[in-house]
Amino acid sequence: MTLRRRWLIVCLSIPLFILVTLFGWLWLQQKEPTLDGKPLSNHLLKLHDSHADVRASALEYVQAHQKVFGPYCLRLVSNQNTTMQAWMHRFQQKVAPTRLGQKLGVRNPMYQLKVRAMAALALGVVDLPAAEKISALKVGLYDADRQTRMESVKSLAALGAPSLEVLEASMTDVSIGVRNAGLYGMYLLGPEARPALGSLKDLLINEDLNLDPLSFEIFWRIGPEAADTLGSALNTTNAVAKYRLLKAMVPLRRLIYPYRDQFIEGLKHTAPKVRSESARALISAGRVDAKVAALLFPLLRDDAVEVRLTAVQLLNQRVPFAEPAMPELLLLLEDEEKEIRRIAGFMLERMILKTSASRQALESALNSENIYVREVAGKALANQ
């Protein structure tokens, strides 16, 4: 055999060898344990069924056969995607729709991603050592696939306090998807996330990060200690940090009452968002009387639309205390913002007048050039 023929055989053999190796790898990837004559992946996919009763039945099935599903799910979720695997998945995605791929039973990688996500969900209900589950779910938490991350974080949260360290570390990850998943896990933990309050506060006031809405709601889930953690940081001069702290404190309601003086001080802040959120926090803290309501009256004349809107919305919940603000409310009937005009008119029509000065102000408004002002004043007087 000549040297040229040998080289020709080698050149033809190498692509054939690569092709056989690829298909062999794909075949091994498809191979999996079966139960009741069906692959385990088929059972897992029922956890994602559109019908709730099917999902519930599938979950019971997984729990009933956890000795089989446990190791399989651990292996699936623990399997980190390497560069080589990513390349193989792209090859697999191209082969799957072809006639040859269908005959060989090659599955689309999207199918495998769905199975992996459901395996992460199943780990939340199977009985396995917590350390093994956390180790596997940590890989799932940092996965590129969103559904896998979210199912992993749900299962981590189901473990309670032991998962706190992993979730807290994920909140500083460079990927916003991982950070938000970790934050959601903290939200699910609720009071058990209390030891991570400092990290959650630092995440909240970090100006460089775009915040998920859960960043504000999570403190309410944790409980009373959150009020002190947030309140102790209110003295900051950073307007963005102050606004975020105030927004997170509002849902805590009566727990933030000790910081009322700081909310009152915030009503005069140079940043409109801080003034607006300070007003919300002040009313949310409880014990609202005529004196407290009067603190919002200057905001009805504020230059910022969002501040005026917040003030009139809050006073709309305390109409009996709003009569002294009659001049401001009449001005708001001609505000540039339609919603402000609507709320101010609604308040005036519901208001029960206690002073003659208020009645005189409404009577004077009947002569306004603005038809809406005249209409509201007329209704308000007719309702007395």
Interatomic CA distance for residues 212 and 176, integer angstroms: 9
Tokens 């099917």, located at residue: 54
- The reported pLDDT for the residue numbered 28 is 47
- The reported pLDDT for the residue numbered 33 is 80
Mean pLDDT along residues 272-290: 95
- The reported pLDDT for the residue numbered 212 is 87
**Distance separating the N- and C-terminal Cα atoms of the chain:** 114
Interatomic CA distance for residues 27 and 103, integer angstroms: 12
Q: Are 199 and 219 in contact (CB under 8 A)?
A: no
For residues 325 and 35, the model is more confident at: 325
Looking at residue 104, its amino acid is: L
Per-position DSSP letters for 345-370, written without gaps between them = HHHHHH----SHHHHHHHHHHTT-S-
Spatial CB neighbours of 325, under 8 Å, sequence gap ≥ 6: 294, 297, 300, 315
Half-sphere exposure of 100 (CA within 13 A, CB side): 8
* pLDDT tens digits along 52-82: 999 999 999 999 999 999 999 998 898 765 4
- The reported pLDDT for the residue numbered 84 is 46
Q: Are 69 and 122 in contact (CB under 8 A)?
A: yes
Strand partners, 35: 38
* pLDDT tens digits along 172-216: 999 999 999 999 999 999 999 999 999 999 999 998 888 888 899
Q: Are 268 and 282 in contact (CB under 8 A)?
A: no
Which two three-digit tokens encode residue 276? Answer: 């607006």
pTM of the full predicted structure?
0.81
- The reported pLDDT for the residue numbered 210 is 82
Which two three-digit tokens encode residue 179? Answer: 């950070």
* pLDDT tens digits along 160-184: 999 999 999 999 999 999 999 999 9
Q: Are 311 and 279 in contact (CB under 8 A)?
A: yes
Phi, psi of 173 (to 5 degrees): -70, 155
- The reported pLDDT for the residue numbered 82 is 47
Question: What is the pLDDT confidence band of residue 39, given thresholds at 50, 70 and 90?
Answer: confident
